[in-house]
Amino acid sequence: MNEPELNQLAQRVIGAAIEVHRVLGPGLLEPVYEDALCHELALAGIGHERQVSIPVRYKGIVLKNAFRVDVLVERQIVLELKSVDEVLPIHKAQVLTYLRMMDLWLGYVLNFNEETLVKGVRRLVSGDPPCE
């Protein structure tokens, strides 16, 4: 998927997240938003996987459950869902690490604990954009 296609998909994903926030509002736990967002993505026909375990190689061994991506969209976009007072640098670093380890370019931290979701969207990129 090239950069324009990826950005178009990302817009659809953010639209789905905004719809979830519009209906549910802030103040719920992250798993509730994950359930609702995955339902919304399915309704929109957007392929996704939940709680994707990503193995990490470390000194000749594979750590099978090193980390889990909350939602992986079309095997291209990492979504880290939060319901926190403030998105911290560690949350952004987490997504950037996922992107690097999965050799992906685009990810988002989506903080549903905001008055409007637009305030809770953090777009993160790693490396050069794809140009397939």
Q: What is the DSSP string of 31-60?
A: HHHHHHHHHHHHHTT--EEEEEEEEEEETT
**Count of domains observed in the chain:** 1
Domain range for 110 is 3-125
Mean pLDDT in the chain?
94
Is 70 domain-assigned? yes
Share of the chain above pLDDT 70, in %: 99
Is 132 domain-assigned? no
Is 112 domain-assigned? yes
Is 130 domain-assigned? no
Is 131 domain-assigned? no
Q: Which amino acid is at 29?
A: L
Question: Per-residue pLDDT tens for 6-46?
Answer: 999 999 999 999 999 999 999 999 999 999 999 999 999 99
Statement: residue 1 has pLDDT above 90: no
Is 44 domain-assigned? yes
CATH number at residue 95: 3.40.1350
pTM of the model: 0.92
